[in-house]
Amino acid sequence: MRTIPHYINAETVSAPGELPVYNPATGEVSARVPIPSTHDVDTAVSVARHAWRTWSASSLSQRTNILFAFRHLLLTHAEELADIITAEHGKTLADARGEIARGLENVEYACGISEHLKGGFSSQVAEGVDVHSFREPLGVVVAITPFNFPIMVPLWMAANALATGNVVILKPSERDPSVSVRVGELLSEAGLPAGVFNVLQGNAATVNQLLEHDGVDAVSFVGSTPVARHVYQVATAHGKRVQALGGAKNHMVVLPDADLDIAADAAINAGYGAAGERCMAISVVVAVGDVADELVAKIAQRVDRLRVGPGNDPASDFGPVITAEHRQRVLSYVNAPDPGVTVVRDGSARAEGPGFFVGPCLLDGVTPGMRAYDDEIFGPVLGVTRVATYADAVALINDNPYGNGTAIFTRDGNAARLFSRQVHVGMIGVNVPIPVPVSSYSFGGWKNSLFGHSHIYGPEGITFYSRAKVVTTRWPLASESQIDLGFPRTR
Ligand code: NAD
């Protein structure tokens, strides 16, 4: 049985494999991943701290050269990386390629670090006094990532953290950890010095040791809401800078003037893509006014054409879910539906093979208070909620405890503008169902979808991974020097 190693100090480090890693398309255990001991955690942190001494002093051009080389390696190894992702996550190869492309964007953004890290300068703020500011790295950044984007989310974090002069310890998801080791190897091949990017495998116990470790300065977390809240509370209590992105329940509002074919296509793409295992997946379609019957019929027709199958089969529209337990949980929303829900399409009958497949499920009449509405299902289950007015749709979204993404489908520009101003959600799409910002903006939800004030990647990523210094300078002549115990004034 293959054991997935750690990657510490630019070397793969083998350890006894403990946790099973599955191929979700076959249901078989394909490898085992270690849980590090306390000693292993201490070693990784001390290697990283040591590497930080020189990396924090590296020139911006040195960092940029490495990031450009890394970008090239990601492109030339994209197929190999996609294969690794599909084998452990189960998503289609096309989706794995898309994930790599969106991660790559963040490396490209980080290649512009000399522009992003420009400081400020003010001349003559007082007689003979100038002020300048610049930003410095934090130190050791721990990146804790979820299973659903095994390369994109690590790159959201690592690209900007490394570019700003930090060192990184990545604790990837134990469900699909192999690709992180390849990322480490490719960074080394690109010229990154040993110890600057490390991968420490493990589980919740590993995370908890890192959150409390004296040698860790900052934590970037992406995962489910209960764990995000826990990570934020524990790591801030231990003096770390923390951003912790959580789960989601994303609504797609369809106004009566929308093109229903466009809306139905979008609901299919955003509801069932990656088997619904995306934090920006649409899980609730909010049908406003009298559009519901026609919209549900159009979505159902399209559901009937979807093919669920192995991710490496080009005929598959989406692959299996991540584990057998998760499959059972997802199926419970259709096998034991909430009272009042109509099961329009039951995907349990379309589950194929010994893998963790779930066919596409469509539920109508889903309302707050029901499990199918309140829970983040994280599977190929799309719910439809019927509301009378635009105002009801906005109230529904604003009353929801999550605030990651939302979308509106309409031809009315003013309604779309009002919507984007009125919803309490971090990322909004207008006729765009999955509004993941490009890398020159930042990604982040509101409410229970993010703990901490800083969104991830883009300009807020640069700010998160660096801290400001402001220098006030005067070069007085001896004749101007005097004793004055008053507080320094600018006038
Ligand atoms: P998860 O919260 O179970 O795991 C995330 C990470 O936390 C993993 O590395 C895991 O080892 C660790 N972990 C798990 N339980 C822990 C605990 N009790 N204490 C400390 N660490 C723990 O999430 P997942 O199932 O891997 O990923 C799916 C979730 O991630 C969904 O809720 C999804 O919405 C969310 N997600 C959010 C975003 C976003 O940007 N907001 C992006 C992707 C995924």
Determine whether the shortest distance from the Cβ of 230 to ligand 1 is under 6 A: yes
Whether 43 and 50 have beta carbons less than 8 Å apart is answered as no
Question: How many angstroms does the Cα of residue 172 sit away from the middle of ligand 1?
Answer: 10
Residue range(s) occupied by CATH 3.40.309.10 in the chain: 250-430
Q: What is the mean pLDDT of residues 475-483?
A: 91
Which of 235, 279, 322, 358 is labelled catalytic? 279
The pLDDT value given to residue 480:
86
Distance of CA 284 to the CA centre of its chain: 20
Is residue 279 part of the annotated active site? The answer reads: yes
Indicate which atom in ligand 1 lies nearest the CA of residue 174: 11
Residue located nearest, by CA, to atom 21 of ligand 1:
204
Q: What is the mean pLDDT of residues 356-375?
A: 98
**At 430, is the pLDDT very low, low, confident or very high (cuts 50, 70, 90)?**
very high
Strands (E), 28-160: 28-33, 120-126, 129-137, 140-144
Q: In whole angstroms, what is the distance from residue 127 CA to residue 65 CA?
A: 41
User: What does pLDDT average to over the chain?
Assistant: 97
**Rounded to a whole number, what is the largest CA-CA distance in the chain?**
90
Give the model confidence (pLDDT) of 141-158 as tens digits.
Answer: 999 999 999 999 999 999
The pLDDT value given to residue 352:
64
Give the model confidence (pLDDT) of 209-230 as tens digits.
Answer: 999 999 999 999 999 999 999 9
Q: Tokens 């999550």 belong to which residue?
A: 402
Whether 106 and 99 have beta carbons less than 8 Å apart is answered as no
Determine whether the shortest distance from the Cβ of 156 to ligand 1 is under 6 A: no
CATH of domain 6-246+449-471: 3.40.605.10
Question: How many angstroms does the Cα of residue 280 sit away from the middle of ligand 1?
Answer: 14
Angle at 443 between CA 108 and CA 119, to 5 degrees: 60
Whether 122 and 130 have beta carbons less than 8 Å apart is answered as yes
Measured between its terminal Cα atoms, the distance across the chain in Å is 74
Determine whether the shortest distance from the Cβ of 281 to ligand 1 is under 6 A: no
Give the model confidence (pLDDT) of 287-313 as tens digits.
Answer: 999 999 999 999 999 999 999 999 999
**At 353, is the pLDDT very low, low, confident or very high (cuts 50, 70, 90)?**
low
Beta partners for residue 409, in sequence order: 254
Whether 364 and 296 have beta carbons less than 8 Å apart is answered as yes
Determine whether the shortest distance from the Cβ of 278 to ligand 1 is under 6 A: no
The pLDDT value given to residue 490:
76
Strand order in the sheet with 405-409: 342-345, 361-364, 381-387, 282-288, 250-254, 405-409, 427-430
Q: What is the mean pLDDT of residues 383-412?
A: 98
- Token pair belonging to 318: 């989406």
pLDDT for residue 351 is more than 80: no
Residue 253 phi, psi dihedral angles, 5° rounding? -90, 130
Which CATH class name applies to 250-430?
alpha beta
Residue range(s) occupied by CATH 3.40.605.10 in the chain: 6-246+449-471
Give the model confidence (pLDDT) of 51-85 as tens digits.
Answer: 999 999 999 999 999 999 999 999 999 999 999 99
Task: Give 25's DSSP letter.
Answer: T
Task: Give the count of beta carbons closer than 10 Å to the beta carbon of residue 98.
Answer: 16
- Token pair belonging to 413: 């520009």
Range name among 42-46, 76-80, 125-129, 391-395 with the lowest pLDDT average: 125-129
Q: What is the mean pLDDT of residues 92-98?
A: 98
Q: Is 228 left (phi over 0), alpha (psi -120 to 50) or beta?
A: alpha
* Cβ within 8 Å of residue 489, ≥6 positions away: 126
Percent of the chain with pLDDT over 70: 99
Distance of CA 251 to the CA centre of its chain: 18
Task: Give 409's DSSP letter.
Answer: E
Task: Give the count of beta carbons closer than 10 Å to the beta carbon of residue 411.
Answer: 12
H or E stretch covering 372: helix 371-374
